Chains A and B, each alone.
Chain A
C-alpha cells in the first residue's frame, strides 16, 4: 500500500465523479426518493422499517455497487491504467482509492436520505454495524463484476438484476402475498432482510452471522474478478 498513490487516485476519481452526470445523479436518487416517501408517510409519523431499508437498498445498489462497477469498467474500457500499473500492489492502491470515493459518496447519500425522513432510533450501534456490512457486501460485488466486464455499456446487464435481487428484496412481499411461501422464506436470508430485522430491534447473533456470510461471499466474487483480470493480462 502506498498512501500517496491512493490519495492520487482518490483526488482524481473524486473530480471525475463530480463531473460524471450519470454517477453524480445516482447520489441524488435516494434523496429524492426519501422526499417522496416522507409525503407517503401516514399521520402516525414514522415509516416502517421496510421503507427505510429500501432507501438503504437503493443507496447501496444505485450508488455503491453501480458507481464502483462503472468506474472500474471505464478504466478497463479506455485502458487508462496502462502505463500506471507496475505491480499487483499498485492495482490494490487503485481499488482502495476508488473505494474511498465511493464510500464517501455512499455516506453522503445515505445520511442525507435518512435525514430527510428523520426516523427515531435509526443510528443505533447495531444498525450502523449492519449498514457497514451491507456496504462492504455491495462494494465487493461491484469491484468483482467491474473487473470482469469490458465496457461501461455491459455494466447495465449486471446492474438491474443485482438491484432487484439485493437492493429491492423487500418488494418480494408485493409479488408473493403468502407469508409462508418458500420464496419469502428464502428472501428472509438475503442481506437486506437481516438489516430490516436488526433495524426493528429483532436482530440477534444469527442475523449478523448471516450478514457476515454474505460479506464472505462477496469477497469470493472480488477474488474471482481479480483472477479473471489477471488471466486476461
Chain B
C-alpha cells in the first residue's frame, strides 16, 4: 500500500511511503496532520489506532477480546492474549478499567484484525513503560503475521522509541531524519550559562538546568523543564562546548545531560531510550553503538 504524502500535508508532492508487509515504519509529523492521515488510511485496507479508544463499557475485557476474535475470525486464543498482555482483571467491565489497561485493547485488536496494514497514531504520548514493552512485543508479532506497522508520532523522541531509522513529514514533504552539520554560526558560551532564543527574546540559561539538546531541520533546540528553546549553533559545536559539563552525544540528533539521566531502557534489539529525570520522563533515543559507552560515562560521572 502506498501512503501519498501529498494528501496528508495538503500540498502536491511526489513523496510517498510504501508500506510493505512485514516491515515497520516510524514517522514524525506535526500534530495537525493526524486527522488527514487517519482519514486517508481509513479509506484504504489499513486499520488506524489512536489514543481515543472506542470501547463497549458494559462488557468485560475478556468479552471484548472474544468479540474482536470472533469478528475478525482470528486463530489467536483469548486466554493467551490475556496472559501475554498481562490483563490484570479480565472479568471486570471496561468502564472499571484504567486507561493503561484499555490501551492494551488497541494492541490486541491490532493482532486480531485481518487488515494488512496497522497504523498507530502517537502511541507513546501518555504511556507507561510497561505498555511500551508490550507494544514492542506486539510489533514482533505483527512482523510474524506479515503485517506492516506504521507508527506516527508528534515528538521526534517518540519515533525513536520504535526503531532507529525514522522518517519525518513536514510541509516540504517526506525525508529521512539525519543530523544536520551545517555552517558554523556565532556561538557564545560562558562558563555556566548559554544563550538561547525564545521568540524575540534572548534568554541565558544555566547549563546545568538543560536536560537535552536536539537537532531538527538544521536547528538546535535545548529542552529544559518541558520547554524548548532554539539555539544558534550546530549540534557538533554544542557537543564540543558542553562535553566538559557532563553532556554526551547519545544519538546523531541528540545530546543529553548525563546529570539528568534517570535510566536506560532497552525496548528491542535496535531501540534504546535514555529516560530523563523530569516531569514528563522524556525518552531520548540512544544509538545502539553508544549503548555501552554511555553506561561507562554515567558510572564515571
Chain A residues close to B by CB (< 8 Å): 4-5, 7-9, 11-12, 15-16, 19-20, 78-84, 86
Q: How far is it, in angstroms, between the C-alpha of A4 and the C-alpha of B71 when the chains are bound? A: 7
- For A94, give the chain B residue with the smallest CB separation: B71
Interface residues of B in 58-98 (CB under 8 A from A): 58-59, 63, 66-67, 70-71, 73, 93
A16 to B66, CA, bound (A): 14
Residues of B in contact, count (CB < 8 Å): 20
Q: A5 contacts which chain B residues (CB < 8 A)?
A: 70-71, 73
For B49, the chain A residues whose CB sits under 8 A away are 83
Q: If the complex has contacts A15-B63, A86-B115, are A80 and B70 also in contact, measured as CB distance less than 8 A?
A: no
Q: Quick check: is B56 within 8 A (CB to CB) of the other chain?
A: yes
> B48–A12 contact, CB under 8 A?
no
Contact status B54-A78, CB under 8 Å:
yes
- Give the residue name and chain of the A residue nearest to B52 (CB): A79
A81 to chain B: closest residue by CB? B54
Tell me the interface secondary structure of chain B in the complex: mixed
Using CB atoms and an 8 Å cutoff, list the residues of chain B in contact with chain A.
42, 45, 47-49, 54-56, 58-59, 63, 66-67, 70-71, 73, 93, 109, 113, 115
Nearest residue, chain A, Cβ from B49: A83
Chain B residues lying within 8 Å of A12, measured Cβ to Cβ, are: 56, 59, 63, 67
Q: Besides the contacts A20-B58, A82-B54, A83-B113, what 6 more A-B pairs have beta carbons closer than 8 Å?
A: A4-B71, A5-B71, A9-B71, A83-B47, A83-B49, A86-B45
Residue of A with least CB distance to B109: A83
Q: Considering only CB atoms, which chain B residue lies closest to A8 in the complex?
A: B70
For the complex formed, measure the closest distance between the CB of B208 and the CB atoms of chain A, giving whole angstroms: 47
Which residue in chain A gives the minimum CB-CB distance to B93? A19
A-B contact pairs, 22 of them (CB 8 A): A4-B70, A5-B70, A5-B73, A7-B70, A8-B67, A8-B70, A8-B71, A11-B66, A11-B67, A11-B70, A12-B56, A12-B59, A16-B56, A16-B59, A19-B59, A80-B56, A81-B54, A83-B47, A83-B49, A83-B54, A83-B109, A83-B113
Minimum distance in angstroms from B241 CB to a CB of chain A: 49
Residue in B45, B49, B58, B115 whose Cβ sees the most chain A Cβ within 10 Å: B58
Q: Is the CB of B55 within 8 A of A80?
A: yes
Return the 8 tightest CB-CB contacts between A and B, nearest first. A8-B70, A19-B58, A12-B67, A80-B54, A8-B71, A15-B59, A79-B54, A16-B58
Q: From B45, which residue of chain A is reached at the shortest CB distance?
A: A86
Task: Contact check, A4 vs B54: say whether CB atoms are below 8 A apart.
Answer: no
Looking at the assembled complex, report how far the CB atom of B78 sits from the nearest CB atom of chain A, in whole angstroms.
13
CB-CB < 8 A to B58: which residues of A?
A: 15-16, 19-20
Most buried by A among B63, B67, B93: B67
Give the docked Cα–Cα distance between A83 and B113 (Å): 9
Min Cβ gap B291→A in Å is 37
Smallest Cβ-Cβ distance to B70: which chain A residue: A8
Interface centre among B71, B93, B113 (most CB of A within 10 A): B71
Closest residue of chain B to A84 (Cβ to Cβ) is B71
A residues near B71, Cβ cutoff 8 Å: 4-5, 8-9, 84
What is the CA–CA distance of A11 and B65 in the complex, to the nearest angstrom?
12
Considering only CB atoms, which chain B residue lies closest to A79 in the complex?
B54
Least CB separation from A77: chain B residue: B54
Q: Is the CB of B56 within 8 A of A4?
A: no
Residues on the B chain within 8 Å of A19, using CB: 58-59, 93
Alpha-carbon gap, A4 to B68, bound state (A): 11
Complex formed: what's the CA distance from A179 to B109 in Å? Answer: 61
CA distance A16 to B63 in the complex (A): 10
B59–A4 touching, CB < 8 Å: no
Measured CA separation A98–B49 after assembly (Å): 25
* Closest partner residue, chain B, to A20 (CB atom): B58
A12 and B68 CA atoms in complex are apart in Å by: 10
Task: Specify the chain A residue showing the minimal Cβ separation from B71.
Answer: A8
Q: A15 — nearest CB in chain B belongs to which residue?
A: B59
**Shortest Cβ distance from residue A117 to the other chain B in the assembled complex, whole angstroms:** 32
Closest CB in chain A relative to B118 CB, distance in Å:
11
Residues of B within 8 Å of A86, CB to CB, are 45, 115
A16 to B56, CA, bound (A): 8
CB distance from A87 to the nearest CB of B (A): 10
